[in-house]
Amino acid sequence: MKISELRILVASESDADAQQIGAMLAHEFDNVATSAKEERFADDFDTAMPDVVVLAFHELEAAERCHLGLYRHSKIAHAQPHRSIVLCSKDNVRRAFELCRKGYFDDYVLFWPMVFDSTRLAMSIIIAGRSLLTGQSDAVSRRVFASADVAGTLETALDEQLEAGRSHLSRLDSQFSAVERELSAFDTHFELDLDPPESDTASDVLPAPTEAQGGTLARATDGVRYAVEQSRKEVVPLTTWINNVKRDLTPQLEAVRTIRSLAAERLAVVLVVDDDEFQRKLLTRLLETLRCQVHVAQNGADTFATLGRHRPDLILMDIELPDTDGITLTRRIKAIPALAQTPIVMITGHSEPQTIAASIKAGASDFVVKPFDRTVLMKKLARFVFIGEDV
- Residue 318, pLDDT > 80, answer yes
* DSSP designation for 113: S
What is the reported pTM? 0.56
Q: Which residue has the higher pLDDT, 131 or 345?
A: 345
Tens digit of each residue's pLDDT (9 = 90 or more) over 44-56: 999 999 999 999 9
- By CB neighbour count within 10 A (0-12 exposed, 13-18 middle, 19+ buried), where does 267 fall? middle
CA distances from 334 to 225, 232, 269, 362, 365 (A): 64, 56, 18, 8, 11
Q: Which residue has the higher pLDDT, 58 or 391?
A: 58
Span 163-170, average pLDDT = 83
Q: Does domain 3-140 have CATH number 3.40.50.620?
A: no
**CATH of region 267-382:** 3.40.50.2300
Range in 157-166, 181-190, 270-279, 335-344 with the lowest mean pLDDT = 181-190
Q: Name the β-bridge partners of 369.
A: 348
Q: Which residue has the higher pLDDT, 200 or 294?
A: 294
Per-residue model confidence (pLDDT) at position 372: 77
Cis-peptide, bond into residue 353, ω within 30° of zero: no
- Residue 249, pLDDT > 70, answer yes
CA distances from 368 to 36, 238, 289, 300, 318 (A): 45, 49, 19, 20, 10
Q: Where are the domains of the chain?
A: 3-140, 153-258, 267-382
- Residue 217, pLDDT > 70, answer no
What residues contact residue 102 under an 8 Å CB cut-off, 6+ apart?
A: none
Per-residue model confidence (pLDDT) at position 10: 97
Cβ contact 316:283 at 8 Å: yes
* DSSP designation for 267: P
Around Cβ 303, how many Cβ atoms within 10 Å? 27
Around Cβ 220, how many Cβ atoms within 10 Å? 14
Range in 42-46, 101-105, 118-122, 234-238 with the lowest mean pLDDT = 234-238
Please choose, from the candidates 69, 68, 114, 111, the residue with its C-alpha nearest in 3D space to the C-alpha of residue 86.
111
Share of the chain above pLDDT 90, in %: 33
Q: Name the β-bridge partners of 325.
A: 320
Tens digit of each residue's pLDDT (9 = 90 or more) over 335-349: 888 788 899 999 887
Fold matches, 3-140 and 267-382: yes
